[in-house]
A and B are shown apart, each in its own frame.
Chain A
Amino acid sequence: MTLKDDEDEALLKIFLEEAKDLLDAISAALQAWATDLAKHEPVLDLKRDLHTLKGGARMVGQPLLSSLAHELESFCDLHLSGHFTDSKAAYDLIFLAYDRMSAMIEALVKRGNLPAIDDLLEKLKDPASVEVAKIIEKNPENTEDKAKTESAPEVIRIKSELLEKLNNLSIENNIVRVNLGHHVDKLKMNLNESIRLIRSLHEKLSVHFKEEELRVTSEVLGLSEIHKTLTQNYTNVEALLSQQSRISLELQERLIDTRMVSFASIIPRLSRISRQVAAEVNKKIDFTVVQAEGEVDRNLIDHVVPSLEHLLRNAIDHGIESEARRAILNKPLAGKISIRFFRMGNDACMEISDDGSGINLEAVRRKAIKLGLLSEETVCSDEEIIRFIFEPGFSTRDEVSEISGRGVGMDVVNTVIKALGGNLSIETNLGKGTRFTIRLPFTTSMNRALLVTVQSQTFGILLSNVASIVLLSVKQIKEALNKQQPIVYNKKEYHLKYLGGVLGIQERPLISSTKESLPVLFFNFVDYNAALLVDSLAGSQEVVVQTLGPQFKLMDVFSGATLLADGRVLVILDAYAITARTRRKMEETVEQDHVVKKQPVVLVVDDSITIRTVTKNFLERHKYTIMTAKDGLDALGKVEEQVPDIILLDLEMPRMDGFEFAEKFKSNPKFSRIPIVMITFCTGDEEKKRAKDLNIEKFINKPYREPELLDTLDFLLDRDK
């Protein structure tokens, strides 16, 4: 079969699906009409469905079907205009035609010969006959029921919400199963412990009791029997659980399969559009499918198809030159449009390329200047210039055509793709052509997420967004953060930001001296590159992303959440929004250099109001934000309200002393990395040792010397002077 045949076949299948629905609708309209032949509404419904059917039949090259639908449509019009006195006769004729039409569709499904319709067409065209003629239905030979038995696999329709629900139930089921597994493991531990106790009890009893009292020990033996049974039960449960685990996982996979459609299924539609557009703009197009492998989530394809169509229209209308121009350029007369669908890692990639004129970057630049998006003097890289075509209302075309050039679209395409968690990239070569590549996460429901931690909090980032993960040396990181210099990786520049700072958890990373390197994630988005520093990586896993609900509509940094195997909620960060935030912030900093940097927050814990006030005033003069607490207990409450960057702690205080506070504070993983400076009169070796044991970062004598305190704060906060 040639590609053309393949396409036609695929289109026919789509049409037949639709035709079945339309026949159902026509049948319903006929039934409604039969209840009251004077009613017009059912006939109007009928007409509309016939019209749709006619269009579809024409599209797939079924002239008989389309002319029957056409004549029926006209016949309905006649009836509506009050042409027939005998509505019953008109109804009967339409009903007969409906039957024949069903037979035709049936025949098309089985790829058999179509029944003849000449008799019907004649009657429909000659309405006068309706009033008198008794129509005799001929049963067409070739639509016999015998073909019914040889059938394609049965297909049923299910509402997508139901599938979604089943999918969610299955996920829930898996979570419960994992929990059950944990409990069964605990059960085993306890069983082992109990047998140990029974044995030891038995030994002790046999030593201490005389022969006649061994009755007791026999009861212990009974216990041991019960234990054996329990162990046997446990083994059975474990085996069943592992079997169930296999089944559940398979169920989950199958359910995911139900959401998948093959890439190839959208090719007929794209091919048809390319033919249409080519005809409209009078260009010859050589439409090639280079590769169309794999399947993709149905939701995804529904959302992305309009964007693909837009890119395709653009390529033919803008990209490909006119035939005359191509002749001068010595290019083949037919412009080449290639489509390629493939999988790359966890991404579904869709590529549309043309061998046309490419994007004239100079024209884009001039247009950007004209629109005031760029000043004459600004020096931009090619990549930066290409980004302008994503600006709303941006088109370099002088005249507007029906096909494209209205400047609506590219920005919409870009937004849609971003919303789906993907990105769009453009490569263009002046005179040689342009390639648009859309990368999307493979399914909208199942994704692979990278688990990252910041200050003991774990977040997910979809792996599909991450270009690379690199361990960078602490020295390099400190330099990039302190001097705000971009990191060069793979010949590209990335501005580094710390995730804790972006999320407002902790401005600066607390890098322990034993660390030599830290993980940095690199992102390449269409319009910018970004690098994100995290404290550590905690592996990756398949996740089903759920939305966080309407309350989060203003929080763009969280793209959703998922449930971990232990039932906890893992929040998924939107890499694009997160890095955009850092970018905005960076741009603002660059623009307004005088703007005060965010001040570190110092919590001063001391029972003396004088010391609290003096320290507060002193540190505020040195650009610190101060919180105070009057003892350890008070401080524990304060840190819950706002997490400080560092704590200055007195030792002797009422209610809860400094050591007690430090112990409680440092044992909370949320706070363990926040430095504590102990300021006290008691600087004995014992206290110093205790402070060291509690991981208290620094010990200063009271009363402190101001420069010493400032140096300590600077050092521990890694603060730029």
Chain B
Amino acid sequence: MNPFQTLLDIERNCRENAFKIPRQMTAERDWLGIAFKSSGFNFISPMASVSEVLRWPAVTELPSAQHWFKGTANLRGKILPMTDLQAFVTDKPHRTKASSRVLVVNIDGDAYGFVVEQVIGIERFFSEEMKPVPLQEPIDDYLPFLEGAFEREGAPWMMISFNAIVQSAKFYHLLSLKAEAL
């Protein structure tokens, strides 16, 4: 056997026994999203729906607005309206923390900011991890905006749809009850 033959053998062996690269293996079955925390639970949103993640910007508050509407910020020359996700969904006042981040979501050409507790990063899930959405407080409040859930290490990861939030009627009722009474 000449050396070249040996090399060819090695190559063939490698090809036959090699692990496939992850992309080929999982392309059909995995799910990639931005992971973040809200109400202490893990949520994920499809990568494509979030265009950027901001630290807390300088915010101009609006009088007479609902408690969940945090105000407007300057996103490179454009006005970004900012909604606190937890406060919006649970309807309980919620204060932003140092770890809070703003997810910028583009829907129909308009940018909306959603304040979340903390951004975890990019997470990949597999279809076998898919589980029904657990029914428990305060996840119930999020139900109208959820598209499903994954379970990893016993903890649920809920798929949230910002589109559903922006399409909900409540999203447009910015005026607080107190202001309406005026």
Which A residues are closer than 8 A to B by beta carbons?
168-169, 171-172, 175, 457, 501-505, 546-555, 557-558, 561, 563, 567-571, 581, 585, 598, 637, 640-642
| Complexed CA–CA distance, A548 and B62 (Å) | 12
Question: Given A551-B81, A551-B112, A569-B72 in contact, is the A503-B93 Cβ separation under 8 Å?
Answer: no
| Complexed CA–CA distance, A364 and B120 (Å) | 68
Chain A CB within 10 Å, residue with most, of B73, B79, B111, B175 = B79
24 contacts between A and B (CB under 8 A): A169-B77, A171-B77, A172-B77, A175-B77, A503-B64, A503-B179, A505-B63, A505-B64, A548-B81, A549-B112, A550-B172, A551-B172, A554-B173, A557-B64, A558-B62, A567-B74, A569-B59, A569-B60, A569-B73, A569-B79, A598-B182, A637-B95, A640-B93, A641-B67
Q: Is the Cβ of B79 less than 8 Å from the Cβ of A561?
A: yes
| Complexed CA–CA distance, A501 and B63 (Å) | 10
Minimum CB distance partner of B176 in chain A:
A504
Using Cβ atoms and an 8 Å threshold, which residues of chain A touch B1?
none
Using Cβ atoms and an 8 Å threshold, which residues of chain B touch A503?
63-64, 179
B174 interface residue (CB < 8 Å to A): yes
Minimum CB distance partner of B83 in chain A:
A551
Which B residues are closer than 8 A to A by beta carbons?
58-65, 67, 71-74, 76-79, 81, 93, 95, 110-112, 166, 171-176, 178-179, 181-182
Q: Distance (Å) between the CB of A117 and the closest chain B CB?
A: 49
Q: Is the Cβ of A571 less than 8 Å from the Cβ of B60?
A: yes
Minimum CB distance partner of B172 in chain A:
A554
Q: Distance (Å) between the CB of B22 and the closest chain A CB?
A: 40
Question: Given A172-B77, A550-B110, A551-B171 in contact, is the A561-B64 Cβ separation under 8 Å?
Answer: no
| Complexed CA–CA distance, A504 and B179 (Å) | 6
Q: Distance (Å) between the CB of A595 and the closest chain B CB?
A: 11
Instruction: State the main secondary structure of chain A at its contact with B.
Output: mixed
Using Cβ atoms and an 8 Å threshold, which residues of chain A touch B110?
549-550
Specify which of B58, B67, B72 is in contact with A548 (CB 8 Å cutoff). Answer: B72
Q: Is the Cβ of B174 less than 8 Å from the Cβ of A555?
A: yes
| Complexed CA–CA distance, A175 and B78 (Å) | 11
Q: Distance (Å) between the CB of A86 and the closest chain B CB?
A: 52
Using Cβ atoms and an 8 Å threshold, which residues of chain A touch B95?
637, 640
| Complexed CA–CA distance, A553 and B173 (Å) | 9
Q: Distance (Å) between the CB of B60 and the closest chain A CB?
A: 4
| Complexed CA–CA distance, A553 and B72 (Å) | 15
Q: Distance (Å) between the CB of A450 and the closest chain B CB?
A: 17
Using Cβ atoms and an 8 Å threshold, which residues of chain A touch B67?
641
| Complexed CA–CA distance, A581 and B180 (Å) | 10
Using Cβ atoms and an 8 Å threshold, which residues of chain B touch A642?
178
Question: Given A551-B171, A555-B175, A557-B64 in contact, is the A168-B181 Cβ separation under 8 Å?
Answer: no
Q: Is the Cβ of B174 less than 8 Å from the Cβ of A551?
A: yes
| Complexed CA–CA distance, A548 and B69 (Å) | 13
Minimum CB distance partner of A505 in chain B:
B63
Question: Given A551-B171, A563-B77, A585-B182 in contact, is the A504-B64 Cβ separation under 8 Å?
Answer: yes
- Name 20 extra pairs, CB < 8 A, besides A504-B176, A561-B72, A598-B181: A172-B77, A457-B63, A501-B182, A505-B63, A548-B81, A549-B112, A551-B112, A551-B166, A552-B174, A553-B172, A554-B174, A554-B175, A558-B62, A563-B74, A563-B79, A568-B74, A569-B59, A569-B79, A581-B182, A641-B93
Specify which of A172, A457, A557, A637 is in contact with B61 (CB 8 Å cutoff). Answer: A457
Minimum CB distance partner of A558 in chain B:
B62
Chain A CB within 10 Å, residue with most, of B58, B61, B93, B182 = B182
| Complexed CA–CA distance, A172 and B166 (Å) | 27
Using Cβ atoms and an 8 Å threshold, which residues of chain B touch A598?
181-182
| Complexed CA–CA distance, A552 and B73 (Å) | 14
Using Cβ atoms and an 8 Å threshold, which residues of chain A touch B182?
501-502, 504, 581, 585, 598
Using Cβ atoms and an 8 Å threshold, which residues of chain A touch B171?
551
Using Cβ atoms and an 8 Å threshold, which residues of chain B touch A571?
60, 62, 72
Using Cβ atoms and an 8 Å threshold, which residues of chain B touch A175?
74, 77
| Complexed CA–CA distance, A558 and B58 (Å) | 19
Minimum CB distance partner of A642 in chain B:
B178
| Complexed CA–CA distance, A187 and B93 (Å) | 42
| Complexed CA–CA distance, A58 and B112 (Å) | 52
Using Cβ atoms and an 8 Å threshold, which residues of chain B touch A561?
60, 72, 79
Q: Is the Cβ of A549 less than 8 Å from the Cβ of B64?
A: no
| Complexed CA–CA distance, A552 and B175 (Å) | 9
Using Cβ atoms and an 8 Å threshold, which residues of chain B touch A553?
172
| Complexed CA–CA distance, A505 and B182 (Å) | 11
Using Cβ atoms and an 8 Å threshold, which residues of chain B touch A563?
74, 77, 79
Using Cβ atoms and an 8 Å threshold, which residues of chain A touch B62?
558, 571
Q: Distance (Å) between the CB of B174 and the closest chain A CB?
A: 5
Using Cβ atoms and an 8 Å threshold, which residues of chain A touch B76?
172
| Complexed CA–CA distance, A292 and B109 (Å) | 39
Minimum CB distance partner of A563 in chain B:
B74
Question: Given A549-B79, A551-B81, A640-B95 in contact, is the A569-B174 Cβ separation under 8 Å?
Answer: no
| Complexed CA–CA distance, A175 and B76 (Å) | 9
| Complexed CA–CA distance, A394 and B178 (Å) | 37
Minimum CB distance partner of B178 in chain A:
A504
Q: Distance (Å) between the CB of B40 and the closest chain A CB?
A: 18
Q: Distance (Å) between the CB of A662 and the closest chain B CB?
A: 21
Q: Is the Cβ of B60 less than 8 Å from the Cβ of A568?
A: yes
Q: Is the Cβ of B63 less than 8 Å from the Cβ of A504?
A: yes
Using Cβ atoms and an 8 Å threshold, which residues of chain A touch B77?
168-169, 171-172, 175, 563
- Across chains A and B, which 9 residue pairs bring their CB atoms closest together, nearest first? A172-B77, A503-B63, A569-B60, A504-B179, A504-B64, A569-B72, A505-B63, A561-B79, A641-B93
Minimum CB distance partner of B92 in chain A:
A641
| Complexed CA–CA distance, A563 and B63 (Å) | 18
Q: Distance (Å) between the CB of A552 and the closest chain B CB?
A: 7
| Complexed CA–CA distance, A546 and B181 (Å) | 28
Chain A CB within 10 Å, residue with most, of B60, B65, B73, B181 = B60
| Complexed CA–CA distance, A570 and B59 (Å) | 10
Using Cβ atoms and an 8 Å threshold, which residues of chain B touch A502?
182
| Complexed CA–CA distance, A552 and B173 (Å) | 8
Minimum CB distance partner of A569 in chain B:
B60
Q: Distance (Å) between the CB of A555 and the closest chain B CB?
A: 5
| Complexed CA–CA distance, A504 and B65 (Å) | 9
| Complexed CA–CA distance, A440 and B62 (Å) | 27
| Complexed CA–CA distance, A547 and B179 (Å) | 22
Q: Distance (Å) between the CB of B39 and the closest chain A CB?
A: 18
Using Cβ atoms and an 8 Å threshold, which residues of chain B touch A558?
62
| Complexed CA–CA distance, A405 and B117 (Å) | 61
| Complexed CA–CA distance, A269 and B98 (Å) | 61
Q: Distance (Å) between the CB of A496 and the closest chain B CB?
A: 16
| Complexed CA–CA distance, A561 and B93 (Å) | 25
Minimum CB distance partner of A172 in chain B:
B77
Q: Is the Cβ of A548 less than 8 Å from the Cβ of B79?
A: yes
Minimum CB distance partner of A560 in chain B:
B79
Minimum CB distance partner of A454 in chain B:
B63
| Complexed CA–CA distance, A558 and B171 (Å) | 17
Using Cβ atoms and an 8 Å threshold, which residues of chain B touch A640?
93, 95
| Complexed CA–CA distance, A571 and B95 (Å) | 23
Using Cβ atoms and an 8 Å threshold, which residues of chain A touch B59?
569
Q: Distance (Å) between the CB of B4 and the closest chain A CB?
A: 60
Q: Is the Cβ of A568 less than 8 Å from the Cβ of B58?
A: yes
Minimum CB distance partner of B93 in chain A:
A641
Minimum CB distance partner of A503 in chain B:
B63
